[in-house]
């Protein structure tokens, strides 16, 4: 069964978030809810779970090589975070 699930993200600069999602989950967006950074993904709950990683970077920060896929930008409290799915 396909559903949209929500996951918590750490907003510490460059801290890698380890998320357990269902295999093949489609990341939809990142945003703020209740003052906390969140990620929403479309998942098939019939599939097994796998570990995936998401990292947020501030505007102006040097980025590592082979960064991964850009997910989205979150603006909160005067700071701008850019999230990527990383290895």
What would the pLDDT profile of 5-59 be if each residue is shown by its tens digit? Answer: 999 998 777 789 999 999 999 999 999 999 999 999 999 999 999 999 999 999 9
User: How many Cβ atoms from other residues are within 10 Å of residue 43's Cβ?
Assistant: 21
The full set of domain ranges for the chain reads 2-86
Q: Which pLDDT value is given to residue 10?
A: 85
12-23 as b/e: b if 16+ CB within 10 A: eeeeebebebbe
pTM, rounded to two decimals: 0.90
* Helices marked H in the chain: none
């Amino acid at each position: 069964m396909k559903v949209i699930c929500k996951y918590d993200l750490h907003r510490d600069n460059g801290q890698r978030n380890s998320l357990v999602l269902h295999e093949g989950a489609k990341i939809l967006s990142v945003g703020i809810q209740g003052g906390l950074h969140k990620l929403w993904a479309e998942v098939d709950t019939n599939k097994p779970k796998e570990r995936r990683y998401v990292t947020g970077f501030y505007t102006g920060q040097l980025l590592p090589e082979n960064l991964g896929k850009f997910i989205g930008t979150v603006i909160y409290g005067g700071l701008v975070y850019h999230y990527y799915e990383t290895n």
